[in-house]
Amino acid sequence: MSASKSSLTALTLGAIGVVYGDIGTSVLYAVKEVFSSGHVPFTPDNIYGVLSIFFWTLTVIVSIKYVVLVLRADNNGEGGLVAMLALASQSVKDRPQLRSGLLLVGIFGTCLFYGDGVITPAISVLSAVEGLEVVSPAFKRYVIPLTLVILFGLFLVQKRGTGGIGKFFGPITLVWFAVVALLGVVHIASNPVILWALSPHYAVKFIFLNPLVTFVILGAVVLCVTGAEALYADMGHFGKKPIRLAWFSVVMPSLTLNYFGQGALLLSKPDAVSNPFFMMAPSWALLPLVCLATMATVIASQALISGAFSVTKQVIQLGYLPRLQIHHTSVKDTGQIYMPFVNWGLFVAIVLAVVMFKSSSNLAGAYGIAVCTDMLITTVLTFYVIRYGWKYPLWLCVSATGFFFMVDLVFWGSNLLKLLDGGWFPLLIGGAIFSLMVTWKRGRSLLAEKQRADAIDLQSFLEAVFVSPPSRVEGTAVFLTAEPGSVPNALLHNLKHNKVLHQQNLFVTVRNHEVPWIGLDKRLSIETLGHDCWQVVINYGFKNDPDVPKALEQIRGRGCDIDAMSTSYFLSRDTVIPTIGSGMAPWREKLFAQMHHNASGAADFLNLPSNSVVELGSKIEI
């Protein structure tokens, strides 16, 4: 029992540092953006109304929708949009057209995650460094350069992994929430009447009297739920109970106290609207607060960057992106990875965002559309999971998700008003990545169809070969093929040029499935083909790490004993020549051909040993 409590405490502390870093730094800019927009007349009644909207937005979207409802939709313990997508697609697998539509919608939502991954670190770090302007206006010219230096340092250390610094995330973020809560309590104590804004009637009254203004400012109110998707995405790392415990015991009380503290400050000092968060602090505490805020925003950004690595890896294994270089930064935790291309691609996009928008207020105009679209997609996918996967009654499914769908739709519509003010930026990023993913998936499907059409049956081929068998050499040959039961090009080339066959031959196909994990008991299936030849299928979930040599170790004792030192791996690689009229638009054919050419080697991706033999196949037209 003691060990269990200790584990729960550690997981809760970790969830505070990783899951809630993003939403925890929203206090830096959310209230400021609502009142500095100029849409809300600065009156006490409006302050009460806006704070009430903030509180009930947190309650409805985060507490009820994500913490209570969405966290229940786990995919073998895993969460996130990719896991939800896999769960929804499995729920409607007997409806192929609906399944294809949901896959496209889910993948588009995943692409928007990258747009959010650009805006969130930029606005978080920039808003923290802008606290220097409160210390002295003379610091204003240093804000952007210092922001870029901090971001560069953050991305530079990614290759070292998060294991070393990750243990400080929880304690630092816990200190951040304690300070945030303390600042709020001090100002609430001087003006406790602000707590009346907890009543929902203030929000209802504000909405009733100012319907158009309410719709407009929801684009800024949504800033208070930045990072809500992380609650679900990080469920596999921490579990439901620690995430729920961290939210209700630490995060939500701290955020509520700070928001209401900012409201109390504005009631007594209206000119603090320029930056209410930092003006809550006494002058002697400003510099330490800026430093703490910067650390908190860096931690929030770190969690999002790590999430980008994880999501990219999952999407690759689902077949929507080419194989990219992956470095494992920990020998204990397989989830700690580093992807150079993703890392520096994100950094370039973030630098572009900071230089283009120049301030957190301008970046607030770009934020919202991507995250609200993801929230809408999560709600839609949740409906299909609980209706077709869990078999709940239709009326219950509609009532459970319909309310949240309407709430998400209103926020999404409000954020569309910011489309020309910067909302186009994350949409442009998400749209570009979506085009790449769909092109890659479609191109690989066309290539697979062509290969199947031209394939030679493996069993028949082997029977013909062993009528007059070639010379056999010692050792084991592993031929990696896309389709089981077909003759790999590498085998044809080996027989043609070397005129020999290994003593043992494994024809291995790696299959990725729409589930997070596949256990070792279901990892491998083997079928004998005779003459010391076997057909092997290796199964992986989208969160498993492909490791072919390790998987093949399970063959020992099943009729085939392989020795790593005498095993050669043959990969059939195809050169793609785009041709007009083959099923894709010409620009997509050229793009797929270029992506196929630039994709890194399968030997690196599959963790093959350094002495692997790579055999090039013939040219294939698609």
Query: For 261-310, what is each residue's pLDDT tens digit?
Result: 999 999 989 888 888 999 999 988 999 999 999 999 888 888 788 878 88
Please give the pLDDT value at position 18: 79
Give the type of residue at 68: V
Cα–Cα distance between 518 and 492 in angstroms, integer?
32
Q: Which DSSP letter does residue 456 get?
A: P
For residues 337 and 541, give the distance between their C-alpha atoms in angstroms, rounded to a whole number: 17
pLDDT number for residue 518: 85
Whether 551 contacts 561, CB under 8 Å: no
> What are the φ and ψ backbone dihedral angles of 75, each rounded to 5 degrees?
-105, 90
User: Which is nearest to 621 in space by CA: 574, 571, 584, 587?
Assistant: 574
pLDDT for 480: 86
How does pLDDT run across 248-259, given as a tens digit for each residue? Answer: 999 999 999 999
Give the per-residue pLDDT at 576: 47
Tokens of 265: 């400050």
Tens-digit pLDDT profile for residues 81-120? 888 888 888 888 888 888 888 888 989 988 988 888 888 8
- The C-alpha atoms of residue 281 and residue 259 are separated, in whole angstroms, by 14
Phi-psi region for residue 615, left (φ > 0), alpha (ψ -120 to 50) or beta? beta
Low-confidence stretches of the chain (pLDDT beneath 50): 1-6, 574-578, 580, 600-602, 605, 610-622
437-493 pLDDT, tens per residue?
A: 999 988 888 888 887 777 888 888 988 888 888 888 888 888 988 888 888 888 888
Q: Name the region of 368 (left: φ>0; alpha: ψ -120 to 50; beta: rest).
A: left
Q: Which of 512, 505, 510, 516 is nearest to 567 (CA)?
A: 505
> Helices marked H in 19-142 — which ranges?
21-24, 30-36, 44-57, 81-91, 96-129, 131-135
Tell me what pLDDT residue 322 has. 86
* Residue 584, pLDDT score: 66
Model's pTM, two decimal places? 0.78
C-beta pairs of 589-597 under 8 Å, 24+ apart in sequence:
589/443, 589/622, 591/435, 591/436, 591/439, 592/439, 592/440, 592/442, 592/443, 593/443, 595/322, 595/436, 595/439, 595/440, 595/443, 596/322, 596/443
